[in-house]
């Protein structure tokens, strides 16, 4: 039985060689939109069980071209929320194979402020990262500051429908109206305002290669009526984002071109997801973000609904996904890139991902276990340190423990997507999916 360390080595070598060639990044400063493009390579064949129209499976390999380098897809995009991977340097992220990093526009607006990044030459230069970068729009904070919920694919919504719902122990800090969102800063309580135009202005100054239109992320507990109104509001905001994006691109003609993705919302409703996808497809976006809270059982189906309605020449980013089975469902049904904070957050808490499942390295049994986290892993942590040492560091709250666990987890997901890419090109995606999921979940692992 194969695993993601021995599949199609010659294809994998080529994939890694492309990533390692990041030193040859373009320094072209043209803001010509043609510096951003997407080209598709190998597509998964349709089959009777395909979730798309006429059995389509929208999974594919391809390349996203940006002013700061190429992203070979499907790919995992690690999250450097505040222009930093917690406890891990940009050079270490490059060494573990990351092709791009994603930062959060809301948090960078809070500190150090978008003007600081603009004066520094943009997000990549500010944090010493030479590859492509993404920023999300701040739409997620509408949910997290408003209803107080984290995004989850496992939310139980039975018997829970309310437009005023709020997480236990939370105060509502964000209020949505037609024009935008008013919110209180979680840092100091000061009041701020986000709108389509403000989000675009902030993201242009942050300077990422790929940014997202400002959207409203609802909870799965919102009523059908609210979801309908929210989809229409997100569409109106999307149109305003496109207009402002085009104005700022012309105004900032000395800056590299920044691509803009529209975000498709609609919760669990097929008709709303399809409608929202058609709305976003009608606008001049460079790509699409598949967003919103989604029940785990509907992740693949939701991606397929959206891809049914979208032009195939636009890249598709699935926001906030990192469970292993969800990654496969997302790829098979059209996801090109994926981001999530989970690998780093789990690592800092001692949870590590391996081909045999996810487990907690802080358990007593690992205190005298001198093997690497994973025998066949080629990450820096596994090549140099033992389970016992990392267990000790995490119990002692030593920052090196966060660094080593994060390096391993990020490498796991970066390499998983590299292996999936190689499997699609080698026409053995289905075999690889079955082998990997069977092994990973054999012992009832989470993630």
* Binding residue numbers for Zn(2+): 377, 379, 382, 408
**Cα–Cα distance measured from residue 203 to residue 80, given in angstroms and rounded to the nearest whole number:** 15
- Taking each helix axis from N to C terminus, what angle separates 399-425 and 429-440, rounded to the nearest 10 degrees? 150
Asked whether the beta carbons of 407 and 343 are under 8 A apart, the reply is no
**Cα–Cα distance measured from residue 73 to residue 102, given in angstroms and rounded to the nearest whole number:** 15
Asked whether the beta carbons of 72 and 421 are under 8 A apart, the reply is yes
β-sheet bridge partners, residue 33: none
Write down the catalytic residue from 118, 308, 339, 418: 339
Per DSSP, the three-state class of 159 is: coil
- How would you classify the pairing of strands 351-354 and 337-340? unpaired
Asked whether the beta carbons of 238 and 176 are under 8 A apart, the reply is no
**Cα–Cα distance measured from residue 237 to residue 235, given in angstroms and rounded to the nearest whole number:** 5
**Cα–Cα distance measured from residue 133 to residue 259, given in angstroms and rounded to the nearest whole number:** 11
Torsion of CA 212, 215, 221, 224, to 10 degrees: -120
Annotated binding site: 136-140, 215, 265, 292, 377, 379, 382, 408
Write down the catalytic residue from 70, 118, 136, 308: 136
**Cα–Cα distance measured from residue 307 to residue 277, given in angstroms and rounded to the nearest whole number:** 8
- Cβ-Cβ contacts under 8 Å for 235 (sequence gap 6 or more): 276, 279, 280
Query: Is 136 among the residues known to form the active site?
Result: yes
Annotated binding site for substrate: 136-140, 215, 265, 292
- Cβ-Cβ contacts under 8 Å for 10 (sequence gap 6 or more): none
Please measure the distance between the N-terminal and C-terminal CA atoms of the chain and give it in whole angstroms. Answer: 21
Helix, strand, coil abundance in the chain, percent, nearest 5: 45, 15, 40
DSSP state, residue 408? H
- Cβ-Cβ contacts under 8 Å for 138 (sequence gap 6 or more): 104, 105, 106, 109, 194, 199, 202, 214
DSSP state, residue 24? G
CA 212 to chain centre: 12
Query: Is 54 among the residues known to form the active site?
Result: no
Asked whether the beta carbons of 260 and 315 are under 8 A apart, the reply is no
Active site residues: 136, 339
């Amino acid at each position: 039985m194969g695993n993601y360390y021995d599949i199609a080595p010659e294809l994998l070598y080529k994939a890694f060689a492309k990533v390692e060639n990041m030193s040859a990044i373009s320094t072209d400063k043209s803001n010509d939109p043609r510096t951003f493009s997407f080209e598709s390579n190998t597509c998964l064949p349709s089959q009777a069980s395909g979730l798309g129209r006429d059995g389509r499976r929208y999974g594919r390999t391809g390349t996203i071209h940006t002013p700061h380098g190429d992203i070979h897809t499907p790919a995992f995009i690690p999250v450097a929320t505040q222009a930093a991977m917690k406890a891990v340097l940009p050079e270490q992220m490059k060494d573990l194979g990351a092709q791009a990093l994603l930062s959060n526009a809301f948090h960078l607006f809070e500190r150090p402020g978008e003007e600081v990044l603009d004066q520094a030459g943009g997000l990549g230069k500010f944090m010493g990262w030479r590859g492509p970068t993404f920023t999300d729009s701040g739409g997620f904070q509408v949910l997290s500051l408003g209803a107080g919920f984290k995004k989850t694919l496992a939310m139980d919504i039975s018997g829970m429908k309310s437009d005023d719902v709020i997480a236990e122990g939370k105060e509502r800090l964000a209020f949505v109206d037609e024009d935008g969102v008013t919110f209180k800063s979680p840092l100091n309580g000061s009041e701020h305002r986000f709108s389509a135009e403000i989000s675009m202005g902030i993201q242009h100054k942050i300077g990422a290669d790929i940014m997202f239109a400002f959207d409203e992320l609802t909870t799965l507990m919102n009523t059908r009526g609210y979801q309908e109104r929210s989809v229409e509001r997100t569409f109106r905001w999307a149109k305003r984002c496109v207009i402002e994006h085009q104005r700022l691109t012309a105004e900032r003609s000395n800056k590299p071109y920044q691509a803009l993705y529209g975000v498709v919302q609609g919760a669990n409703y097929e008709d709303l997801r399809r409608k929202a996808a058609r709305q976003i497809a009608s606008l001049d976006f460079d790509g699409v973000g598949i967003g919103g809270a989604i029940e785990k059982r509907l992740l693949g189906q939701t991606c397929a609904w959206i891809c049914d309605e979208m032009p195939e020449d636009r890249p598709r980013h699935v926001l906030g996904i990192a469970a292993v089975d969800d990654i496969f469902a997302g790829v098979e049904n059209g996801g090109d890139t994926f981001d999530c904070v989970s690998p780093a957050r789990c690592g800092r808490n001692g949870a590590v991902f391996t081909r045999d499942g996810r487990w907690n390295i802080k358990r007593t049994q690992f205190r005298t276990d001198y093997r690497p986290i994973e025998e066949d892993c080629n990450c820096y942590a596994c090549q140099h340190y033992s389970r016992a040492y990392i267990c000790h560091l995490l119990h002692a709250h030593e920052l090196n423990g966060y660094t080593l666990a994060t390096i391993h987890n990020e490498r796991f997901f970066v390499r998983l997507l590299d292996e999936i890419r190689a499997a699609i090109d080698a026409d053995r995606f289905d075999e690889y999916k079955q082998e990997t999921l069977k092994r990973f979940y054999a012992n009832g692992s989470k993630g």
